[in-house]
């Protein structure tokens, strides 16, 4: 009985291939992000610290393709929703299984994009842990999407090209409307991308109207995720601050002593997993110099402990590629000025090609492992 137009396999294919491309990029960049953040033990010492902008690029793409996929998924669901009303709902075992797999695909894809969207605004209105859940469900999306593509391969093939077999069976006058629909969807994706991508791709920062973060907004011209107040780092704790370095030859340093060591400067981005990213000039002491001074062997891993009282990012470990990298700093300055409290005063980690969550602030102890 359904008479709406463009709800056909041709439209589903036209939107679906863009959606598939967005999901593929989003999935791969998501895996990269996950494994950089939670490397399995065997790989922790082999993660590349170059290119320095690598994580900035992959995480920028992850969030941008995720946002684009929201638009594309809505268009795709619009194209196919009449199938919800197919009667009888199940014609055969095969048909039933196919519908079940589509139900899994739709449910997990909606879940994944929804939780990702709320994550970039740092809102977690659910009882489960975001990172583990988002990671696990990604595999279900990927698996059910591959299954869906396999099941629909004949339809996809028939409708892929401009003059493919399947299009001949469709009303010719729909072609123009379908082009308009695709232009509309493309314009919506373009608008969403242009008004958000500036949070990571700073040449477009003036267009960044809809992203949760603006790359310039924050103390010292840099966003802050967790403030010194939220981290529970008190003025008193900062007054008594000392850097402790544990290792074969442990030592501790006051801030003045730390400032009197060889200072290095590096231009490196902070790239938050939530998608914003900014490059800045950092100054401080090389982590590898501090490790060497503690008698650490070359290639030792380092555990970094923050003054922060509680929080998932109070303790961080870095593998050898980062610990040895001459650009990995215990930073004391940001763009030539002393770190502000919200950026981790008196000392924070900055390392190349690493997720922002591992750029630990208010560092008080390094443990050479």
Ligand X SMILES: Nc1nc2c(c(=O)[nH]1)N[C@H]1C(S)=C(S)[C@@H](COP(=O)(O)O)O[C@H]1N2
Q: Which residues bind ligand X (CB under 6 A)?
A: 222-226, 231, 270, 272, 306, 308, 311, 313-314, 343-344, 356-357, 359-362
356 sits near Mo ion (criterion: CB under 5 A): yes
The neighbour count for residue 109, using CB atoms within 10 Å, is 22
Could you say which of Mo ion, ligand X, none residue 313 binds, taking C-beta under 5 to 8 angstroms by partner kind? Answer: ligand X
Q: Write down the least CB distance from residue 276 to ligand X, Å.
A: 8
CA-CA distance, 167 to 179, in Å (whole number)?
13
Q: Which residues pair with 264 in a beta bridge?
A: 284
Q: Write down the least CB distance from residue 293 to ligand X, Å.
A: 23
Cβ closest to ligand X, residue 319 vs residue 356 = 356
Task: Tell me which residue has its CB nearest to Mo ion.
Answer: 272
Q: 343: which 2 tokens? A: 């950026």
Could you say which of Mo ion, ligand X, none residue 361 binds, taking C-beta under 5 to 8 angstroms by partner kind? Answer: ligand X
Q: 79: which 2 tokens? A: 């194209």
Cβ closest to ligand X, residue 303 vs residue 314 = 314
Could you say which of ligand X, Mo ion, none residue 241 binds, taking C-beta under 5 to 8 angstroms by partner kind? Answer: none
* Number of residues this chain uses to bind Mo ion (CB under 5 A): 4
Cβ closest to ligand X, residue 167 vs residue 360 = 360
Instruction: Give the number of C-alpha atoms closer than 13 A to the C-alpha of residue 117, restricted to the C-beta side.
Output: 13
Cβ closest to Mo ion, residue 38 vs residue 91 = 38
344 sits near Mo ion (criterion: CB under 5 A): no
Q: Write down the least CB distance from residue 270 to ligand X, Å.
A: 5
Binding to Mo ion by CB under 5 A, coded x per residue (else -) over 177-216, reads: ----------------------------------------
Cβ closest to Mo ion, residue 119 vs residue 144 = 119
Could you say which of ligand X, Mo ion, none residue 54 binds, taking C-beta under 5 to 8 angstroms by partner kind? Answer: none
Cβ closest to ligand X, residue 78 vs residue 135 = 135
Cβ closest to ligand X, residue 18 vs residue 241 = 241
Which segments within the chain are labelled E, that is strand? 243-246, 251-253, 264-271, 277-286, 302-306, 315-318, 329-334, 337-338, 348-350, 363-368
Which residues between 272 and 301 bind Mo ion (CB under 5 A)?
272
CA-CA distance, 178 to 162, in Å (whole number)?
12
Q: What contacts 354, CB < 8 A, 6 or more positions away?
A: 36, 49, 55, 318, 322
Cβ closest to ligand X, residue 193 vs residue 359 = 359
Q: 259: which 2 tokens? A: 């400032």
Dihedral of CA atoms 111, 112, 114, 120 in degrees, nearest 10, equals 150
Which residues between 208 and 267 bind Mo ion (CB under 5 A)?
225
Q: Write down the least CB distance from residue 223 to ligand X, Å.
A: 5
Q: What contacts 339, CB < 8 A, 6 or more positions away?
A: 220, 331, 332, 333, 345, 346, 347, 348
Q: Which residues pair with 283 in a beta bridge?
A: 265, 333
Could you say which of ligand X, Mo ion, none residue 343 binds, taking C-beta under 5 to 8 angstroms by partner kind? Answer: ligand X
CA-CA distance, 240 to 44, in Å (whole number)?
33
- Sheet harboring 251-253: ordered strands across? 251-253, 243-246, 363-368, 302-306, 315-318
Chain residues that interact with Mo ion, rule: CB under 5 A: 225, 272, 356-357
């Amino acid at each position: 009985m359904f008479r709406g137009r463009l709800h056909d396999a041709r439209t589903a294919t036209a939107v679906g291939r863009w959606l598939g491309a967005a999901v593929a990029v989003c999935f791969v960049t998501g895996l990269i992000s996950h494994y950089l953040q939670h490397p399995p033990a065997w790989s922790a010492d082999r993660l590349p610290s170059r290119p320095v902008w690598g994580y900035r690029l992959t995480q920028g793409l992850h969030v941008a393709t995720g946002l684009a996929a929201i638009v594309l998924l809505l268009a795709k669901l619009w194209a196919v929703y009449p199938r919800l009303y197919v009667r009888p709902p199940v014609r055969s075992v095969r048909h039933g299984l196919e519908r079940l797999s589509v139900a899994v695909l739709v449910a997990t894809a909606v879940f994944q994009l929804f939780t990702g969207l709320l994550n970039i605004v740092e809102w977690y209105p659910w009882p489960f842990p975001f990172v583990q859940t988002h990671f696990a469900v990604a595999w279900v999306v990927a698996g059910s999407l591959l299954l869906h593509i396999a099941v629909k391969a004949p339809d996809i093939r028939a409708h892929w090209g401009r003059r493919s077999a399947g299009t001949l069976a469709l009303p010719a006058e729909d072609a123009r409307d379908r082009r308009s629909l695709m232009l509309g969807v493309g314009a919506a994706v373009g608008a969403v991308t242009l008004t958000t991508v500036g949070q990571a791709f700073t040449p477009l920062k003036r267009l960044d109207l809809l992203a949760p973060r603006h790359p310039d907004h924050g103390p010292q011209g840099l966003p802050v995720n967790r403030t010194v107040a939220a981290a529970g780092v008190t003025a008193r704790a900062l007054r008594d601050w000392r850097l402790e370095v544990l290792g074969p030859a442990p030592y501790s340093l006051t801030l003045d002593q730390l400032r009197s060591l060889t200072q290095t400067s590096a231009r490196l981005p902070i790239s938050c997993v939530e998608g914003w990213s900014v490059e800045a000039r950092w100054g401080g002491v090389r982590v590898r110099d501090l490790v060497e001074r503690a008698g650490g062997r070359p290639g030792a891993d380092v555990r970094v402990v923050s003054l922060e009282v509680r929080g998932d990012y109070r303790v961080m470990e870095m593998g050898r590629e980062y610990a040895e990298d001459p650009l990995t700093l215990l930073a004391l300055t940001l763009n030539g000025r002393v770190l502000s409290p919200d950026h981790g005063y008196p000392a924070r980690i900055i390392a190349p090609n690493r997720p922002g969550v591992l750029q630990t602030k208010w560092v008080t102890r390094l443990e050479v492992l």
